[in-house]
Structure 1
Amino acid sequence: MPRIKLYWTLQIVGWLAWLANEALIYVNSFGWSIDWFISADLNIAFAIFLTHNFRKVIKKYGWVEMPIRQVVPRILGSVVLMSMMMASINIPLDGYILREREHADFWSIFFFIQFSFSFMKPLMIWTLFYYASHYFERKSEIEVEKVRLESSIRETESKVLRAQMNPHFMFNALNSIRALILEEPEKAQKAVTQLSNILRSSLLADRRKTVSLSEELRTVEDYLALEKIRYEDRLQIRKNVYPETLTCQIPPMLLQTLVENAIKHGVSKPVKGGFVSIETKMVDSKVVIEISNTGVLETTESGGFGLENTAHRLELLFGADAKFKIYQASKDVVTAEITVPIPSQVVENKDNPFAKITHIVRG
């Protein structure tokens, strides 16, 4: 129901309910009278007139937004004023109906105060109900706006995080391709295609929240192939991938960032180079991805922007079900571990996973 229609429905029904209560009291005390029926109609019309204009005042001056200490005296003053106005109309009407014009007590200040107090109750109930409805409506709107703002912030953060591409890698990859053009043109052509694939994945990453693990691994393979041109035998690549994990969804370019970090700390620094290992497995209805490399974990190991935000990216997409940690797996091996939830249909297919494991070792 539209808000304005609901408002008028509650206005009319509410005051009719009040009138029904007053009618019982009046008829029991004085009996039925057509004059009283006319007086009651005028009462309802005047009460709706007063409260409707009071509503306009509340909206115009923003009383709903005011602190409680400021709005309470305004409400009380308004209710008292409206009660006195209602009493000013009703005393003459009742005096005419009951033929009490000549009775001095009927027109006394005490009788006026008594009449005013009798109208304060329904007017106060109307005001409290109006404020309560606006309070809960406003609270709901604030919660919706909060959710929208958080969603917008998360989407913005996610886009920024997905768009990360190390400029040093681009520079080194182009230099490696340039060195191949004359000596190994076919290999150079393949390297250009691989770099193009990486760039395309980077551009698409800004449009998608997640990609399948299989697609991400293809990007990582292109990345490692380009780095292999640069490091040659200094870079050893190992893979151990469960086919059942390939449908798992992860943030785009996430593995590429971790593999890049592994090469930076595990291959580029040692004179003899090192290895980068990618392993995926299923543990307790989750996919665990491990990126290992030669090296020793330092306090600055996770200081890069990409690693700093890996856990944050996973949390934005999967909440508390996703985990990220980086640790010293052995004396000279550092491992970055990602845990993400997997679709239910993948879990159902994990009977005897060791029979389906694939080992891919590329040097």
Structure 2
Amino acid sequence: MSRAKVYWLLQIFGWSAWLANEALLYDSHYEGILDWLGAALLNFVIVIVVTHNFRKVIKRYGWVELSINRVIPRILIAVGAMSVFMAFVNIPLDSYLLKDKEDADLWSLFFIIQFIFNWAKPIMIWTLFYYASHYFERKSEVEVDKIRLESSVRETESKVLRAQMNPHFMFNALNSIRALILEEPDKAQKAVTQLSNILRSSLLADRRKTVSLSEELRTVEDYLALEKIRYEERLQVRKNIYPETMHVQVPPMLLQTLVENAIKHGVSKPVKGGFVSLETKMVGKNLLIIISNTGVLESTDSGGFGLENTAHRLELLFGPESKFKIYQASKDVVTAEITIPIPSIEPEKETPFSKISNIVKPKVTI
């Protein structure tokens, strides 16, 4: 139903109920219900015209936009003027209807004030209802606009965060490939393919909110293969991936960023190098990702831009139920844990993976 129809229904119903009640009150003291109903009908038409024109004034001059300190005096003056008008319409009407039943002088100051106050009450109630409806309508619109703005900001932030790639990795990877071109051209060619895969994933990251864990792991494997060229035996990789986690959706480039930080702040610093361990498993209805690496957690900025924004990215996509924490697991091991809630898993997807997990145990590669 349109706002105009609702407005007119409320106008007709509200004033009909009010004036019918007034007519019944008069008839309980005086005879002649038909006369009072006729007077009520006349008042019904007049008061609707008056309040409807008052509504036009409110809309034309933007009273609903004014502060409460500015609008209250205007309302009081307008309600007073309308009450005076309706009083001077009804005093001669009541004088005619009560000419044989009432000896009181309705034109006395006491009765004039009484008429004005009697009409001020319903008109003030009408005004309060009108402003209340506009207040809740505007509040609803503000909430909708706020939600739209927040959604837009969240989407923009998410795109920016998804598109991050450390430029140092690019320089290091290109230098490593350059060193391989003459000595091991086949290996260099494979490295170029792996680097192009990573770049493609990075470029597509701003177009997709999530990717499957299996796709993300392929990017991580390409990244680790390139880093393996640089660090050789100094970098040891361990993986423990449960099959039932492979279809779960994760933020693109999330694991790559964490693995990159693990190598940068852990493996690259010790002379003997270190290890990076990646484990994924289901814990209830949550995906748990555990990344461990050789190193000591720094007290200041331990992860750079990507690590600082990991928790923020997860919250943008999965809400407050998602979690990210990084801690010193042992004397020389740093562990990062990611928890991603799974809203719903289709039964047909659960059954095959659960069967696979019962038959095939996860393999650990070192």
TM-score > 0.5, shorter chain as reference: yes
Per-residue deviation, residues 131-179 of structure 1 (Å, max 9, x unmatched): 2211211221222122112211111111110010111111111222222
Q: Are the aligned partners of 2:164 and 2:306 in contact in 1 as well (CA < 8 Å)?
A: yes
Residue 361 (structure 2) aligns with: 357
Secondary structure of the structure 2 residue equivalent to 1:91:
helix
Which stretch has the larger CA shift, 298-307 or 310-319?
298-307
Superposed counterparts of 1:54-93, under 5 Å: 54-93=54-93
C-alpha distance 303-234 of structure 1, shift in aligned 2 (>3 A): closer
Letter in 2 for 1:209: K
Residue 52 (structure 2) aligns with: 52
TM-score by length of structure 1 reads 0.92
CA distance in 2, matches of 1:129, 1:301: 56
Letter in 2 for 1:65: E
Residue 267 (structure 1) aligns with: 267
Secondary structure of the structure 2 residue equivalent to 1:115:
helix
Q: Are the aligned partners of 1:197 and 1:219 in contact in 2 as well (CA < 8 Å)?
A: yes
CA distance in 2, matches of 1:357, 1:297: 32
- 1:235 and 2:198 aligned: no
Query: Displacement, 1:347?
Result: 6.7
Residue 174 (structure 1) aligns with: 174
TM-score by length of structure 2 reads 0.91
Residue 19 (structure 1) aligns with: 19
CA distance in 1, matches of 2:80, 2:66: 20
Letter in 2 for 1:8: W
Query: Displacement, 1:10?
Result: 0.7
Secondary structure of the structure 2 residue equivalent to 1:337:
strand
Residue 119 (structure 2) aligns with: 119
CA distance in 2, matches of 1:234, 1:42: 97
Q: Which blocks of at least 5 consecutive residues in structure 2 are unaligned?
A: none
Per-residue deviation, residues 8-61 of structure 1 (Å, max 9, x unmatched): 111111111112112212333333366554433331122112111221222233
Superposed counterparts of 1:1-363, under 5 Å: 1-32=1-32, 36-99=36-99, 105-342=105-342, 343-345=344-346, 350=354, 353=357, 356-362=360-366
Query: Displacement, 1:215?
Result: 0.9
Query: Displacement, 1:186?
Result: 2.1
Percent of aligned pairs with the same amino acid: 73
Secondary structure of the structure 2 residue equivalent to 1:84:
helix
Q: Are the aligned partners of 1:282 and 1:288 in contact in 2 as well (CA < 8 Å)?
A: yes
Which stretch has the larger CA shift, 134-143 or 26-35?
26-35
CA distance in 2, matches of 1:222, 1:353: 25
Per-residue deviation, residues 304-354 of structure 1 (Å, max 9, x unmatched): 111101011111112222111111111111111111113434777658957
Q: Are the aligned partners of 2:87 and 2:112 in contact in 1 as well (CA < 8 Å)?
A: yes
Secondary structure of the structure 2 residue equivalent to 1:31:
coil
What is the aligned length? 362
CA distance in 2, matches of 1:347, 1:109: 85
CA distance in 2, matches of 1:76, 1:22: 24
Letter in 2 for 1:204: L
Which stretch has the larger CA shift, 36-45 or 121-130?
36-45
Letter in 2 for 1:269: K
Which stretch has the larger CA shift, 198-207 or 349-358?
349-358
CA distance in 1, matches of 2:355, 2:287: 15
Q: Are the aligned partners of 1:162 and 1:252 in contact in 2 as well (CA < 8 Å)?
A: yes
Which stretch has the larger CA shift, 204-213 or 87-96?
87-96
Secondary structure of the structure 2 residue equivalent to 1:344:
coil
Q: Are the aligned partners of 1:242 and 1:356 in contact in 2 as well (CA < 8 Å)?
A: no
Secondary structure of the structure 2 residue equivalent to 1:231:
helix
Secondary structure of the structure 1 residue equivalent to 2:297:
coil
CA distance in 1, matches of 2:64, 2:355: 61
CA distance in 2, matches of 1:107, 1:347: 86
Query: Displacement, 1:360?
Result: 4.1
Q: Are the aligned partners of 1:285 and 1:347 in contact in 2 as well (CA < 8 Å)?
A: no
CA distance in 1, matches of 2:303, 2:170: 21
Secondary structure of the structure 1 residue equivalent to 2:272:
coil
